[in-house]
Amino acid sequence: MTEKEKCKQGLLYNANYDRELINERLIAKDLCQEYNHLKNSDSKGRTSLLRKILGKTGENICIEPTFWCDYGYNIEVGENFYSNHNLVILDCAKVTFGTNVFIGPNCSFYTASHPLDVEQRNEGLESAHPITVGDNVWFGGNVVVLPGIIIGNNSVIGAGSVVTKDIPDNVVAVGNPCRIIKTITGNHP
């Protein structure tokens, strides 16, 4: 079984020394660097390059530079996706965003997890766990979402939160660790 196959199954795999994975990351990072250097006024070029980087996109997508990812092909975004500056998605596993997702500046989504055992960690082993974000989700600035998290539809994640556990539909959640503070009912602020 290849290291990439182990990764897809959520098993420990060697990310640091596997030539195939290293090459795929280099391709994605070169494309991200190219994207980050496009003129902001080049909206067609930006959209075209995002479609080349990401695994799946809706028609209406905007990611303000800078944007970095590990592979790109593991990222799927729905219609009306917007991210403010400095988005980081470490997509060793699938990262899926629904429709109408809005992300504040300086947000990060991490699918990689490293062993607590120092010998395994020093061998370059890690595992990867998918992140799933529902429809109509808003992330405030400086949010970090950890591996394996599911965030439900219509929820709001407050600025500065570190999401360590799943978040259900229709809630406001904030803090470190992120916790539910309010259920959203109706269409009011």
Residues assigned a catalytic role: 114
Element housing 82 (H / E): strand 81-83
The phi and psi torsions of 144 (rounded to 5 degrees) equal: -120, 130
Contact 116, 96 (CB under 8 A): no
Residue listed under structure tokens 């994605």: 28
Pairing, β 125-128 against β 156-157: unpaired
The phi and psi torsions of 55 (rounded to 5 degrees) equal: -70, -35
CA 11: distance to chain centroid? 20
